[in-house]
Structure 1
């Protein structure tokens, strides 16, 4: 089987998303075990200057698709470019982040290349001559090992599932000409929320649930701000119209795995737990001592969140000086 690994990175406005460093680190580990090399794919417009940063996480060969048609990150253009970059290095394994764009590219690549795909994975390794990916099943209640037969195998890794570890390499940057004439999608309009930390990229997530009682999330926002974190919401809070769908954490929302997850007024329905079960430390604040969230947390506080959360925020601000 081929020995090389290709990590497909993702960037926004000339900066790599953190998931890019995670897939590079996972790729370097696999490449070392196979005795092969790690290549990084960097796609976008005017991305040559940033491409070399991939070498800081072990990329020995950096393939750059620098085209104006990739500027907006549209999935069909990125898939077209990714397929041509895969052909350029013939890898045994293609790693990509399980982001909104990454999942789209992974599925399209799998269909186009007739390649095996494991989505939403938390680990990947080599077992003999087979790539084995680990992914949550049954709403996160169990983990399944999935063997991928065929080349290249495609694995989409959950953000924050793998630690990004710096591993400096020479990192030869190589510009690859890609043909995007077959793409059909065009960007009509874009609306961006500025100054907001992306949920799946955040080290800290503070989530409000039905216990918020309304759309005033000021206490949650203040705590998230004090911790330099992002604000999330349970599905019930989103269904009530208190927060936008983009803030929803859960099986039908965004899957997060921050270092610290604070659930405020969240009961802990299984669908919500599936979206945050990989968090390293979970703190639950709820006035219902029987709430299911308490069976899944590392630290629990039984009390009114409107009393507890501001007190925590005040202590954090005091510690920060």
Structure 2
């Protein structure tokens, strides 16, 4: 997607939030009394130190009580609202904006189904203007934050001067299954609770030295042959949903990363070596390594991606915004420099965006 230069929106602020309780990988293993050495190895070799999780209550015997799907949906609603509101407020504060200025709210989630959607619930919860337009992107998975950014960038371009926000709220604890299978262990070792938000506005900047970059281009790549590699299935035995990750998906994603980035840069006159900042989804150690190898990146290029995985785990659709916040806090991005945002998820899909400070 390409927009006229004067309508390309700028990112004005970012904010993140997590749930109140966090655990090391060893603490999670102990909470669920997991002794299988193969499963413990998956957790302990994940490059994750700590994650924010809302675990089921103790059963009184040292274990944890499995939660029925209805309770998990309640957890998703409560935590998504709690984290979402905090991330939205933090984002607007950094953007120097007020809730009253918000004209479009797009909410992204894949860890539970809500009708009415999270956008409507937040508008009611926070007293946002009832005339604020809204959209909800549900079920697209870890890539969905960039899908939403593309949609909302288009909205901002069509409404110059009006404030829009993309909010990703993922209560991954609401997708936590308790069983002894390796399939479940891979998922349980990876995801954490988190929410993040980014504000956009097109037209004149209105400030002398805006912190955030202009959003220039988007490019996507779906891999139909890997459509079943990441999916949310109904587990009939447990009476609840269960997420599946194919062990080969990191290598499939890595093999297609070059294709989509070259497409993103094709009409810009830029080469990969011209990109100063890379913000890649913290999908997991193997995914990050595969992208680094296939794009010829350095460990410095993905320092924030790796740091977010270490400190929060994979927080699904909002992970790349956690990295973006760290980049802004670092204060190293200079006017004129380019950045590439990259997410990947079910489909299987890789999403990218080109930005410029």
The TM-score by the shorter chain falls in which range? under 0.3
Q: Of the two, which has the highest radius of gyration?
A: 1
TM-score, scaled relative to structure 1: 0.28
Q: Which has the higher contact order (CA 8 A, sep 6+)?
A: 2
Q: Which has the higher helix share?
A: 2
TM-score, scaled relative to structure 2: 0.26
